[in-house]
Amino acid sequence: LWELQGEREPIFEEKDEHGHKVQVFKGWKQNKPGTMTPLEYDQAVGDLVGYMQWMAEPAQNTRVRIGVWVLIFLSFFTFIAWRLNAAFWKDIK
């Protein structure tokens, strides 16, 4: 991917923290341009990451869809159990 992005060099700034000098990352300096513009490169990497995430777990959409229905089912029957408990205990109070 470095050919698409180009060669970059990190820029650091030195700070004093707790009596020690620490280098803090500030950004990148573009040394040589790549074959893509920064916007094209960011879009291509975003597409690649999205594809790799889907390939890691292709059933995620189905799992999430079923999970929503399971939560709706559990909340509905929790309400029914709560009302049934109130009906059973109304004579005891």
Helix, strand, or coil here: 91? coil
Write down the pLDDT at residue 93. Answer: 65
pLDDT in tens, 2-11: 899 999 999 9
Q: Residue 47 — left, alpha, or beta (φ > 0 → left; ψ -120 to 50 → alpha)? A: alpha
pLDDT exceeds 80 at position 29: yes
CB 12 within 8 A of CB 23: yes
Q: What does pTM read for this prediction?
A: 0.57
